């Protein structure tokens, strides 16, 4: 049976859903806020995500948007109000379905079954993951990266750092968090390691490393990746 990740901060609802999903035979993972949900989704690769929208730390829209850039995991969003449904339609975030609270258990379970059936029928898309931002393109399966049509020569840590930044675009990441994600918990260096690698990375990906457009410095925190809306390719600039 597939694993379902439930991201819901209302305890009573979360426990009720967990109980009933487990009774159906699913393995259920529970996260109580968006950041934890994102982490669990990445680590556990569940077969389906049930995602509340109003969540502490990181809302469901953001979780959906970030995960959609990385995977095609099926998602059902739980919305509390009708106007949120409109927002979903407008934002076209890529959720597979949504259920408006209050909903009946039977209704949710029916949708869970339908979506998992659909996902099963589709040949599982390969693990190929291509991240795009501005003129940058990163293929994590072949570990190759391009800026426009030029392939970048990135050593392992710079590649991992860039991948981590793009996956978390729009989010300020602390140096400690980047150290942990890219170098691992047992790494003995300090946060200057991050700064040095960011400098090297900027020299390769930024049109003007002195005025970075992709990797923004967040004072007192660390770095935030942004995909510039309008970056012209070198040919277009000429
Ligand atoms: Ca909530």
Instruction: Judge whether 3-120 and 130-237 match in fold.
Output: no
d(CA 78, CA 54): 9
For the chain, the domains span 3-120, 130-237
Q: Does domain 3-120 have CATH number 3.40.50.2300?
A: yes
How far does the centroid of ligand 1 lie from the alpha carbon of residue 9, in Å?
5
Architecture of domain 130-237: Orthogonal Bundle (1.10)
SS3 of 16-81: the string is HHHHHHHHCCCEEEEECCHHHHHHHHHHHCCCEEEEECCCCCCCHHHHHHHHHCCCCCCEEEEECC
Give me the pLDDT at residue 201, please.
96
Give me the pLDDT at residue 230, please.
61
Model-level pTM?
A: 0.53
- Separation of first and last alpha carbons in the chain: 56
Among 51-55, 84-88, 177-181, where is mean pLDDT lowest? 84-88
Are 6 and 63 contacting, i.e. CB atoms less than 8 angstroms apart?
no
Task: Report residue 19 as tokens.
Answer: 């109980």
How far does the centroid of ligand 1 lie from the alpha carbon of residue 11, in Å?
9
Query: Using one digit for the tens of pLDDT, what is the confidence trace for 122-180?
Result: 655 555 678 889 899 999 878 899 999 899 999 988 999 999 999 888 888 999 889 88
How far does the centroid of ligand 1 lie from the alpha carbon of residue 176, in Å?
29
Q: Is residue 91 predicted with pLDDT exceeding 70?
A: no
How far does the centroid of ligand 1 lie from the alpha carbon of residue 59, in Å?
9
């Amino acid at each position: 049976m597939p694993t379902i990740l439930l991201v819901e901060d209302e305890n009573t609802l979360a426990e009720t859903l967990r109980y009933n999903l487990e009774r159906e035979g699913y393995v259920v993972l529970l996260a109580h806020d968006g950041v934890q949900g994102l982490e669990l989704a990445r680590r556990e690769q569940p077969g389906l995500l049930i995602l509340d929208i109003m969540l502490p730390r990181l809302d469901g829209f953001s979780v959906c948007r970030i995960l959609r850039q990385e995977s095609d995991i099926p998602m059902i969003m739980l919305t509390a109000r009708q106007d949120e449904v409109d927002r979903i339609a407008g934002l076209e975030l890529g959720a597979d379905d949504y259920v408006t609270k209050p909903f009946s258990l039977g209704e949710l379970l029916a949708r869970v079954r339908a979506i998992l059936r659909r996902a099963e029928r589709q040949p599982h898309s390969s693990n190929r993951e291509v991240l795009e931002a501005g003129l940058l393109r990163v293929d994590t399966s072949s570990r190759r990266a391009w800026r426009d049509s030029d392939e970048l020569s990135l050593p392992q840590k710079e590649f991992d750092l860039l991948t981590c930044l793009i996956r978390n675009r729009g989010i300020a990441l602390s140096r400690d968090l980047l150290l942990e994600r890219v170098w691992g918990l047992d790494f003995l260096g300090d946060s200057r390691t991050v700064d040095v690698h960011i400098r090297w990375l900027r020299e390769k990906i930024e049109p003007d490393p002195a005025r970075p457009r992709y990797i923004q410095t967040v004072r007192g925190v660390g770095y935030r990746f942004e995909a510039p809306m309008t970056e012209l390719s070198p040919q277009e600039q000429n």
